[in-house]
Structure 1
Amino acid sequence: MSLFIASLNSGSNGNCYYVGNEQEAILVDAGISCRETERRMLRLGLSMQTVKAIFVSHEHTDHISGIPVLAKKYRLPVYITDSTLYHGGLTLQKEQVFGFKAYEPVQIGNLAIQAFPKKHDAAEPHSFIVNGNNVNIGIFTDIGAACDHLLLHFKHCHAAFLEANYDEEMLEKGSYPRHLKNRIRGGQGHLSNKQALEVFTRNKPAYMSHLFLSHLSRDNNSPQLVQQLFNEHAGDTQIIIASRFEETAVYQVKPASDAASIPLPQKADAPVNFKPVYTQLRLW
Structure 2
Amino acid sequence: MKLINQTVWGVASLLSLSFATSAQADFVIPTLQQIQDKQAAIRFCNDYADVAIEQFAKSKTLSCGFSGPRWNNDRQGQFNWCLTVLEPFAITERGFREDALKTCQENKSSGNNPQNQISIPQACKDPTKAYTSVKQINHHFRYETNLTSPVQNGLISYDYNRDRKADYVFLETKDDSARVAMCFSQGQRYRRQVTDITFYSGSGGLGSSKYEITQQGDTLVVTIDEFEHNAGSSYRQVSYRFDPSTSKFKIIKNESDVYPVIYDGQPYPMGAPVTPKLF
TM-score bracket for this pair, using the shorter chain length = under 0.3
Determine which structure has the larger strand proportion and give its number.
2
Q: Which has the higher helix share?
A: 2
- The two structures have a TM-score, normalised by structure 2, of 0.22
User: TM-score, with normalisation over the residues of structure 1?
Assistant: 0.22
